[in-house]
Structure formats: structure tokens, C-alpha cells
Chains A and B, each alone.
Chain A
Amino acid sequence: MKRTTYILIAAFVILTTILSSCAPAAPVAPQVITQVVEKEVKVEVTKEVIKEVEKQVEVVVTPTVAPTEAAKEIEGFPAADENEAKTAKAAWDAADKGKPDPAWKGKKFTIGVYSAGQRGAISGPTYFFRKNFEQLTGASYDIVEIPFSEMREKIATDFDTGANQYDMIINCSNFYGDYINNDWVQPLDPFFEDARFPKWERDSISPQVAGLYTWGGKWYGSNYDHDAMIFYWRKDIMDDPKWKEAYKKETGEDMPATMATWEDAIKVSKFFNGKDWNGDGAADQGVTLHLKVGGQGFFHYMAFSAPYVVLPNPGDNPTKVTKYNNVYWFDPDTMEPLISSPGHVRALEKMIELSKTGSSAMWGWSLGEAWAQFLSGKAFMTFSWGDVASLAEDKTQSTIMGKWWASGLPGTNEPYSFEKKAFLKLDKPNMVAQQVGCSWHPVLSKKAKNPELAYYWMALMATPPINHWMVTYGWTGVNPGTTYDWFPPQGKAKIEDYTVSGWNENDAKANVQAYADNFFTYPIWQSYLRIPGTTEMQNMSLDTHVSEAITGQLSAQDALNRTAEDWKRVVDEYGKDKLLKLYQDSIGYTPGQ
């Protein structure tokens, strides 16, 4: 017995050592597997979902050819199919390349990005374009994936300890508070006139997002992702006369033509909740949301509450930030938190009301679980990021291709006025855009060993052809946000850009339209919090207390009062005066207005 024990242990140790030392050899082959996966999946679905295929016959879907064996690199891209490689090549060729400096040959830099893998959102493009970048410049880069939930901690630790592993980080916009406060990143303006670097059109970027890429008038970030939440619903069901009649019968009112206000959305969601409107014999849901603590539920609250709190500046300049207008987080003169003001409380109460028109389980759902309800056709509406739109095109997950529509988020007719200290009653709804999320984009470390080389990559990815290409291929995780992405007259895009990658025409239009609403049409927008302490105030305090209110542990007012107390303490700990100045800079407020 003793001997066999030792032999077993020894064998095991040897085996695992061998297995683990196999690892380094693997890197090159990986992309192969993804392709095989896609093929296998297609076969399976057609077996179960024959009905769907018939319905989609008229839809414009360029067939993605599934090769019988593992995909090879096409045109230097680890592409899923010919179309993807062809369009990527076209974008690559069209992009301005500047003049790569020969001194860069053989040099390397390191990118830090959140962990999503080689075909994952945001991190995927870094792998996708690497080979061609190497051929173009003779230089290369390492990609370090960081688990998303630890990203801020890891990056802060890296800078703080002086490890300086990352030359460039594809970061979340709300890290800027720490970056600027600690002087960890460098401005990009010096590179703009340098002929070596590609030109990327800063003016084409939606001003809201451009605001996130800049600080104090200087550019720190380059064009990449443009985040906002948009409003999705099942247009096919809502337009159905049968349901319009049923609505009239049940409520005595006509079904709203569009859900322009949250109040309308709540009514409609309430109506559809619990009814079997998808014909599967089971009761379906009205709305689906990801309200779990730590599941990015606080973004829901931020997006939902914007129209209740943010009012335009009267007159010619509606976006001007004054003491009472276009503010959301703190009083711009005193740094008092506004989070417990009546507008916020009303918004939270309304959001709780909305969340009750769906499965109660949503209070514990994070993204995957919540989205799955809408994508599998069980929920009537949701509001979230563009991932829902691109996932709707994935037949392995979605049964709703072509059946939905999207718009910017609803507003409200009864926002709160800080100036008048009362709720207003408007004739037309107050519509407020937002940029909730991260708008992941690259920033350049001050201690980068090869800053110019790194910036070259940043600029190349930021050029309109390449960035637009990323928008058209949903798996990259990049949402529309520039004039190259909108359709005329707002922009220059063509529907074929989207359908060639497999987008259903209806869905592509819906997605783009919704983002255009948010980034282009809405008159004002919610400011984005980027001061030190943002993560603690937003991701931790607000997230937890909103969840407490939603699950009935506290009233909305109490929850937001607690949030305000937390925020006051954080502000005091960082230094109220310092934070006030940073806050004013970040929202573009000059005192005395």
C-alpha cells in the first residue's frame, strides 16, 4: 500500500508537470477551435428549431460559410469566414496608416485588456489585428487579459507598485479619476500632428463619448467603444392588432404608439407580463433586467433615472452645465450629493415598479441570465447595451432575429427641477441621453517603454474604417458611436456594411437607430462620473443600496439617503475641495454660472 501510494503520487506529479509545461506551446493554434464550434452549433439548432428557419427565409442573411475543417488564417486575420476576412481587409486597406517609423521594428509593447478571450468583446480585436500589425510595422505586442471584476484593482496595483507592466490599457472610462489624480497616463495631443501616425477623425465621434476620451481639454483616450444603454422591445408583438385590442379592453386606454416615457413603458410591460404572447403555452415576462448586486444593476438605475434628474439649460445652449441644469451627481458649487433628491427617489421608485412587471428572479440576475430571457423570446422588453442586439443575431441563443426594435431610452413628462424644487409637468417628454457603461478605450501609460509604437496601434484602431468595421461585427463588442456608423442623413454608413456580417436588416437598423437617438438626437445627456472614488461611490455604494431598495429591504428614500451619506464620506476622505475642482473640470462647469 505504501509503495503504490508513492508511485501514484509521483506519477500524478509528473503528469501534471508535463501537462502544465505543454502550455506555452499552445498560443498559435487557438483561433482554430472557435470556427469548428460555430459549425457544430448550426447543425444542432436546425434540428430543433425548424419553424424559425422557415420564417427567416426572406431575411437578408449572407450565408456564413462553415468550412468543414478548422479555419485557416485568411488575409492574416483569424477570421471566422471569408466575408469577415474580406471586409476586414478592405477596412485595413482603407485606413490611414501614417508612416510607420522603421525604428519600431523588433520592438514590443504590452496591452492590458479585460479578459474575454480571442473572439470576445473588446479584447477580441487586439488578437484579430495583431498579425497584420506585425507585418505592417515589424513590431509586435503582448496581450494581457485581466479578469473584469478585478481590473481596477490590478491596474491600480500595477501603477502603484511601479511594476508598470502595461504600456497601454484598454480601460473603463470611470477609471480616469484615479489615472488623472495619480498622473498615470499621458496625453495624446502631441502625436496628432506627427505624420508618422494614422489620422483618426476626432470630430466624427459623438461629443458625449469624445468627452469621455478627454480631460481638461486634452485627449487621453483613442476611439474604440462607445457605450450607452438602449431600449429594446418586441415590435412584432406590440404592433399586432390583436394585442392592441386586448390592451384597450383591459386598461380602457389605447396602447401607446411609442413608449416615449417610462410611465408608458411600465404600463405596456405590466400588460404583457404574465400573458402568453409568444405562443409557447407558458406565461411570459414583461421586462427583464439585470439587477443583481455586482451584476451591473446600478447602470440600469443610472440610465433609467437620467430623465428624472437632468434638465436642459433653457435657451440656446441646452447642454450648458449650470448649478441646476445638466447635473446629476453632485451640486457643482458645494459638492453635496444630489443622489437623494426627490427626482432620484421618484426615479428609483419607478424603476422598482418597472421591475415588478417581470420575473421576480430578475432582482438576482446578472447579464447572461437577464439577456437570455429577452433573446429566447420570453421577455417583452429590456434596456441594456448593444450586446443584446448583436447576440440577437446569434441563432444559437436567439429566437428573436428580425422581431424587435430599439430606440434611445424613454424619458419622462415629470422630471424634478432643482431650481424650482418641484416636479414639473411637461407637454413633451424630457429625453436625456447617457453613456452608462465603460466605453472601453485605450489610454497610454506615462511610463510606457515604447509610447510611440503603442500610440500607433491606438490610432490605427481608431481610424474610421477599422473602427466602423468593428461596429459592424458585433462580436467585437464595439457599439456605434461615430458619424461613420449612422445611416444618412446623420452619418455615412450603408446598410450593406451591417448585413454582410450577418445582421438581419431590421435589427441592424434598429441598433443603429437607437444609438443615433442616444448619441445624436437627444438634446442633452447625463454627465459621467470620473472623479477619484467613483468606483466606491457608484459600483459599490449605489449598487448595494439600489439593490436593497429593489428587494424591499429599504424604502427608496432611505436607500438613497444612505448612498448620499456614503458619498459624503468618500468625498471628505479624498478631500472635498480637491474633488470639487476635479468634478467641475470633468463636467465642464465654471462656477458662477
Chain B
Amino acid sequence: MKYTKIIKNILIWIVIIIATVWVFFPFYWAIITSFKMPTVILTKPSLIPFLDFQPTLRNWEQEFGNRWPEISKGLGNSLIIAVGAALIAVTLGTMVGYGLARFRFNRWKNKDMTMWFLSQRFLPPIVTVIPFFVLMKNIGLMDNQLALILANATFTMPFAVLTMRDVFRELPKELEESAYVDGASPLTAFVQIALPLAAPAIAAAAVICFAFSWNEFLFALILTYKNAQPITVVIAGVEHTQGIQFWFVATRLLLAILPPTLLALTAQRYIVRGLTLGAVKG
């Protein structure tokens, strides 16, 4: 009997190891590819540095050297866009979430309103891309980060709304009730009591909105062409007439993944709830 338990444990650990390798392999691959010479990437199967190939700093030197203006502008634009979109989405979304959690609406029921926000995620971006293109063209916001901020704020707001609604519903009403007794307005109760209590969840919602805006590609591609290109479009710029520059794919992938990941690591507690739009508690 004991044997089966040991074997079972070993098998479980083997599967866990395989799963971990599977999850991390592309990152490992991106790292070693960024240190490979371009020809090696296309002609030699090489999995282990120093054994299969000689690592080189060339790609990173170029990225931080003569490619840096392009890269930093892309990162900077992505930052502006993602932060801007997250700010708007979280501000408006938190307010809506609080309203839906604390108050009863009669004409348009709470659950209907919530469903409506949720249904925004069902809308494929491609449906709105052409009108956005035309709209931005006509109001002169082409190639401007603001256009992307507006678009991304719209698409990520449901995450904020639904997460915060769920979180606020869990907060006991007593604290706010006692504030009302003291004569505070709902606004004051919201700002001074509910918000601080819900702060970690707000951070998580912000991280999710940030990450989704950071990695957005379609709208970024269509609405920008020189000044406002975020990093996702810079990544797509590896497609050259002489082929795809895989070495830069690797470096740029790694550069681009840092901000969202770092932020996500700091907002662990509410990430699951945010990603499932409130349906599942972390």
C-alpha cells in the first residue's frame, strides 16, 4: 500500500516538473535566442548555451544601442497608453462597481447593468476597428496616444467594473452606515471609507487593465504610424524585407514582458478575481 502512495507521489511530482518546464520553456528559449547569432537561429538546433552555440551580446547591444530610440519610444508610448487606459478604466469602473454594489436601481436592474458591462468583452475588437480608424482620422487623433488610451479604457473597463462590484459587495456595510449616521454624503463614504478598504483590489484591477492594454496589438497597429507606436507594434516591426529578425523578437519579447509581470507579482491577491470578472474568488 505504501508503495503505491510513493509511486503516486513521484508521478505527481514528475507531472508537476513537466508542467513547469512547459510553462517556462518559451521564456528560456527567448532568453537563449536573444544571445544567439542570427545565423545560428536559422541553421543550428541549439538548446544549450556554450554547448550548442556561442552566446553573444550582439543583439542586446544593438537593442540598447542604435535601436534604442525606437525601443524606448515604443516602451514609453506603451507606458503612457497602458497607464492612461488603466487610470480611466479603474476610476470610472470603481465608481460603477460601487454604485452597483451599494445601491438598487429600478428602471435598469443591477444585474442587467452588470451583464451589459460584461457583454462588452464579448465584442470582437475587429468590429469596432474600422469605425475607430475613421473617427480618429476625422478628429485628428491619428498617431496619438490619446486615441489608444480611449480605446483601451473602453475595452478594459468591464474588468474594473465587475471586480470592484464583487469586492465592494463583500465589504460590510456597517462602516459606511455609521458614516451616514454622522451625516456624511455617499460620496464621502465612498472616498474615505470604501476606497481605502478596497485598495488592494483596485490595484489588481489596475494591473489587469494595464496588462491588457500593454499587450494590445490590433488597435495599436491601425491607429498609429510614427509617433505613438507602442511596443507591440515595434515588435511587429521585426518583419523586414530581408525576413523576420528573430533575434530582436526575443529581445523585445523579454523587454515587453517585464512591466506587466512585475506589476502582476505585486497584486497577486485579487488577480484571479479580476481575471474572471468577479466570478471566482482568488
- Interface, chain A (partner B; CB < 8 A): 1-2, 4-6, 8-9, 12-13, 16-17, 19-24, 26-27, 29-34, 36-37, 40-41, 44, 47-48, 114-118, 120-122, 144-150, 154, 157-158, 160-161, 163, 165, 290, 366-369, 371-373, 375-376, 378, 387, 396-397, 438, 477
Q: Does B185 sit at the interface, judged by CB under 8 A?
A: no
Kindly supply a per-residue 1/0 record for chain B positions 59-98, scoring 1 wherever the CB is within 8 Å of any chain A CB and 0 otherwise.
0011001111110110110010001000000000000000
Question: In the bound complex, what is the Cα–Cα distance between A118 and B68 (angstroms)?
Answer: 12
Chain A residue with Cβ nearest B44: A376
**B226, A144: Cβ atoms closer than 8 Å:** yes
Across-interface contacts of B241 in A (CB, < 8 A): 114, 116, 121-122, 148, 367, 438, 477
Q: Does B23 sit at the interface, judged by CB under 8 A?
A: no
Q: Considering the complex of A and B, which 6 residue pairs feature the smallest CB-CB distances, nearest first?
A: A368-B243, A20-B76, A30-B66, A33-B65, A23-B72, A367-B243
- Secondary structure at the A interface, as helix, strand, loop or mixed, is helix
Minimum Cβ distance to chain A for residue B62 (Å): 6
Minimum Cβ distance to chain A for residue B236 (Å): 6
Among B25-33, B105-113, B258-266, the stretch that binds chain A is B258-266
Question: In the bound complex, what is the Cα–Cα distance between A122 and B200 (angstroms)?
Answer: 51
**A118, B200: Cβ atoms closer than 8 Å:** no
Beyond the given A44-B54, A163-B143, please list 8 additional residue pairs across the A-B interface where CB-CB is below 8 A. A6-B203, A9-B203, A9-B263, A17-B76, A23-B72, A36-B61, A145-B70, A372-B39
Chain A residue with Cβ nearest B243: A368
Question: In the bound complex, what is the Cα–Cα distance between A114 and B43 (angstroms)?
Answer: 27
Q: Does B42 sit at the interface, judged by CB under 8 A?
A: yes
**B266, A147: Cβ atoms closer than 8 Å:** no
Neighbour of A16 across the interface among B61, B259, B267, CB < 8 A: B259
Q: Does B9 sit at the interface, judged by CB under 8 A?
A: no
Across-interface contacts of B83 in A (CB, < 8 A): 13
Question: In the bound complex, what is the Cα–Cα distance between A115 and B245 (angstroms)?
Answer: 12
Which of the listed residues B38, B70, B240 has the most CB atoms from chain A within 10 Å of its own CB? B240
**A117, B67: Cβ atoms closer than 8 Å:** yes
Q: A19-B75, A22-B72 are in contact. Are A147 and B37 (CB under 8 A)?
A: no
Across-interface contacts of A17 in B (CB, < 8 A): 76, 79
A-B contact count (CB 8 A): 149
| CB under 8 Å from chain A, chain B span 241-282 | 241-246, 259, 262-263, 266-267
Across-interface contacts of B200 in A (CB, < 8 A): 1-2, 5
Across-interface contacts of B75 in A (CB, < 8 A): 16, 19-20
**A121, B142: Cβ atoms closer than 8 Å:** no
Across-interface contacts of B116 in A (CB, < 8 A): none
Across-interface contacts of B102 in A (CB, < 8 A): none
Across-interface contacts of B243 in A (CB, < 8 A): 290, 366-369, 371
Q: Does B221 sit at the interface, judged by CB under 8 A?
A: yes
Q: Does B211 sit at the interface, judged by CB under 8 A?
A: no
Minimum Cβ distance to chain A for residue B45 (Å): 12
Q: A5-B266, A23-B72, A33-B61 are in contact. Are A161 and B142 (CB under 8 A)?
A: yes
Minimum Cβ distance to chain B for residue A150 (Å): 7
Neighbour of B66 across the interface among A12, A44, A117, A149, CB < 8 A: A117
Across-interface contacts of A34 in B (CB, < 8 A): 62, 66
Across-interface contacts of B61 in A (CB, < 8 A): 33, 36-37
Q: Does B8 sit at the interface, judged by CB under 8 A?
A: no
Q: A17-B79, A19-B75 are in contact. Are A32 and B37 (CB under 8 A)?
A: no
Q: A2-B200, A12-B263 are in contact. Are A116 and B242 (CB under 8 A)?
A: yes
Neighbour of B37 across the interface among A6, A41, A163, CB < 8 A: A41
A to B CB contacts below 8 Å, 23 in the list: A1-B200, A2-B199, A5-B267, A6-B203, A8-B262, A16-B76, A16-B79, A19-B72, A24-B69, A27-B69, A30-B68, A44-B54, A115-B237, A115-B240, A116-B240, A116-B242, A147-B236, A149-B239, A154-B225, A157-B225, A165-B226, A369-B243, A375-B39
Across-interface contacts of B246 in A (CB, < 8 A): 368
Q: Does B137 sit at the interface, judged by CB under 8 A?
A: yes
Across-interface contacts of A120 in B (CB, < 8 A): 240, 242
Which of the listed residues A9, A34, A378 has the most CB atoms from chain B within 10 Å of its own CB? A9
Question: In the bound complex, what is the Cα–Cα distance between A464 and B101 (angstroms)?
Answer: 75
